[in-house]
């Protein structure tokens, strides 16, 4: 067993060392979970239409903010998107969220993402209903202007 190298008159050094090691372990666990989600995070293919409006067209929307939920595999990010009177979400890894935001002109490193970040970014999206029909999910994020080819597909 490794000695922490502190004497009884240095209790804060032991505490700081333990905290530092615990933080390193938590970061490692988080990275493992993110890598796992990147490998398995794609939803299974469905025969349902990919958008909620049913005809393949995009609808005007606004990216409101970023949320984070903790699941059995670690953190899961989502963008809250206002689509008309409805709220839709784009779920995914930090990379997936960063890619969607980049299409809208926001360049944020994945490690800087945090719950509660506000955006208020106009965009266009395609959506689909969840398997049980209760929720509206974003499947594609596009910039407002029509002339660009930049597009993010979930």
pTM value?
0.58
Q: Which residue intervals of 3-135 are DSSP H helices?
A: 11-40, 94-103
**Listed residue (48, 50, 66) closest to 126, CA to CA:** 50
**Listed residue (73, 154, 80) closest to 116, CA to CA:** 80
Class of domain 59-153: mainly beta
Query: pLDDT tens digits, residue range 51-62?
Result: 445 344 689 999
pLDDT at 67: 93
What's the rounded mean pLDDT across residues 27-51?
A: 60
> What band does 22 get if pLDDT is binned at 50, 70 and 90?
confident
- Strands 136-142 vs 86-92: parallel, antiparallel or unpaired: parallel
Q: Is the pLDDT of residue 47 over 50?
A: no
Tell me the C-alpha distance between 127 and 59, whole Å: 9
DSSP letter at 96 equals H
């Amino acid at each position: 067993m490794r000695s922490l190298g502190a004497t009884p008159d240095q209790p804060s050094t032991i505490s700081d060392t333990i905290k530092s090691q615990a933080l390193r372990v938590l970061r490692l666990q988080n990275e493992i979970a993110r890598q796992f989600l990147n490998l398995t995070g794609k939803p299974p293919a469905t025969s349902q239409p990919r958008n909620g409006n049913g005809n393949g067209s995009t609808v005007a929307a606004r990216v409101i903010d970023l949320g984070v939920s903790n699941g059995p595999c670690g953190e899961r990010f989502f963008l809250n998107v206002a689509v008309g009177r409805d709220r839709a979400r784009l779920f995914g890894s930090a990379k997936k969220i960063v890619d969607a935001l980049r299409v809208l002109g926001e360049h944020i490193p994945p490690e800087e993402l945090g719950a509660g970040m506000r955006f208020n970014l106009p965009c266009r999206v395609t959506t689909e209903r969840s398997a049980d029909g209760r929720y509206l999910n974003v499947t594609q994020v596009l910039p407002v202007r029509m002339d660009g080819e930049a597009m993010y597909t979930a």
